[in-house]
Structure 1
Amino acid sequence: MTATRNTPVQAAVELRGLRKVHGSGDHAVTALDGVTLGFPSGTFTAIMGPSGSGKSTLLQCAAGLEQPSEGQIILAGSDIGRMNEARRTELRRDHIGFVFQAFNLVESLTAAQNVELPSRFAGRRANRRQVDAALASVGLAERAGHRPSQLSGGQQQRVALARALVTRPDVLFADEPTGALDTVTSQEVLRMMRMLVDREGQTTLMVTHDPVAAAFADVVVFLKDGRIADRIALDRDAGTNNAEAVAARMARMEA
């Protein structure tokens, strides 16, 4: 059930004092430097920042794909840092969905078969009703039997979105999901992601460099040098003014 704007919501993901250091000694590079941040259930958060600011590392750590050097990550009520790799893999499979810039669809499979892949990789029989529901949720119920080559770029990304949603994840992580799409198609995919938050209560965390994409979120968090530099809550009724506000805040941060 989707929480109303006036209803307190719990964090679907919590980052507590997160640090991530690559390398050691003179070659050490701090990608994240003490980030504490919560992502409330049923909300859409965009992460922005200059190249090298740590935004992709934050997403990778929050999703359990990278281990932080210090700090805690609480996801689905569990401390990821206390898990072994097998348990983290299980948690990602059952509680997390991923969408990336590359669609990563298998060309020889239909849209429905691509959506079935998470179940097959987990050694489970795909639930066709869930597959059909996932495709319907992204407006592709009539394209289930089409292969990627028969779909537009936007439709392919929506198949990737359905594949991420078929397990009904607690959190959807999106890394530059519209980076390979043209402006019109990007808007189509972003509206779909926004609708999933509003209608289905899908908690979504998206890394992007695009103020227009970030404007679809409820909150935009800005990173700089591995730290939270700024944060703004967006007015969903503000329309294009949100993109302008995000772009202006980003420009001030980079000045």
Structure 2
Amino acid sequence: MTTTRQAPARDAVELHGVRKVHGTGGHQVTALDGVSLTFPRGTFTAIMGPSGSGKSTLLQCAAGLEQPTEGRIVLAGVDIATRNERQRTELRRDHVGFVFQAFNLVESLTAAQNVELPSRFAGRKVSREQVAGALDAVGLADRAGHRPSQLSGGQQQRVALARALVTRPDVLFADEPTGALDTHTSREVLRMMRMLVDREGQSTLMVTHDPVAASVADVVVFLKDGRIADHVPLDRTAVGDNAAAIATHMARMEA
């Protein structure tokens, strides 16, 4: 059964009492412990916490890459538990985009070809206009014919961002997307991600350890020991102050 698009749900992702346990017997580790969260459409959420707090597990469960041990996850209006593995793959293909710390571009392909590649592997056709539009959205309309070696690190990450967005996903999941970039380039990519939320209404969930990266979000969810430690809305007019406040908050959590 192929996933079909329905009227957009009010929330991009919902987690209801999600618990995730890794391992068996006496070697069990609880990565998430009863997490309930909703991520409204058209918003930018940063997920932070100390090492081992459950950040990446939350993202993987929310994106349907891992199944929770307990609880319920609704992605783009679909209860993931009601779908088999093939249907979950189709759900991710049709509704989800991913950006990671590693750019994962094919060196022998142009920027446009890299943007198109995952859709071709999935048996989906994307038009030249769609590819051009995705590159234009991330400010690389004039770099479509360039290979990764001809692009800066920030430009390569923006190609990866265009690749994630070419099918107009309901949700963009980003796992440390600026972790491999220098400060200037990181800010360039973050401005682009923020712009996509503001202009295109792109729902975005980003795992990060960087207070500056988190400062561009609408809200920061702090995790500790697999539980929600805090949920902090940010003042969009005070990004600099946000970064300092987030850094202070993280220092208290790690003390």
TM range (shorter): over 0.9
- 1:131-146 to 2 correspondence within 5 Å? 131-146=131-146
RMSD: 0.9
Cα deviation for residue 191 of structure 1 reads: 0.3
Structure 2 Cα separation of the partners of residues 217 and 153 of structure 1:
22
Deviation at 1:85, TM superposition (A): 0.7
Which residue does the alignment assign to 2:183?
Answer: 183
What TM-score does the superposition give when structure 2 sets the normalisation length? 0.95
2:246 corresponds to 1:209? no
What does residue 57 of structure 1 align with? 57
How far residue 10 of structure 1 moved from its aligned partner, in angstroms, is 2.2
Residues 90-129 of structure 1 mapped to structure 2, 5 A cutoff: 90-129=90-129
CA distance in 2, matches of 1:203, 1:187: 19
What does the per-residue CA deviation read over 1:113-139, in whole Å, with 9 as the maximum and x for residues that have no partner? 000012201112331111000000000
- The percentage of counterpart residues that share the same residue type is 81
The secondary structure found in structure 1 opposite 2:179 is coil
Read off the aligned partner of 2:114 and give its amino acid letter.
N
**Is the 1:93–1:118 contact (alpha carbons within 8 Å) kept by the matching residues of 2?**
no
2:89 corresponds in structure 1 to: 89
Aligned to 2:194: 194
Off by >2 Å, runs of 4+ in structure 1:
none
Partner of 2:6: none
Per-residue deviation, 1:25: 1.6
Give the match for residue 6 of structure 1: none
What's the TM-score, normalizing by structure 1?
0.95
- Separation in 2, partners of 1:148, 1:122: 22
Asked whether the 8 Å contact 1:111–1:143 carries over to 2, the reply is yes
- Aligned to 2:221, what secondary structure does the other structure show? strand
C-alpha distance in 1, partners of 2:96/2:132? 19
Distance 1:124 1:222 in 2: 37
> In 2, Cα distance between the equivalents of 1:92 and 1:40?
18
Aligned-partner residue type, residue 159 of structure 1: V
What count of residue pairs does the alignment treat as equivalent?
A: 247
Q: Find the residue that maps to 2:126 and give its secondary structure.
A: coil
Residue 144 (structure 1) shift? 0.1
SS of 2:241's partner is helix
The residue type equivalent to 1:105 in the other structure is: L
Q: What corresponds to 1:3 in structure 2? A: none
Alpha-carbon distance between aligned partners in 1 of 2:19 and 2:200, rounded to the nearest angstrom? 32
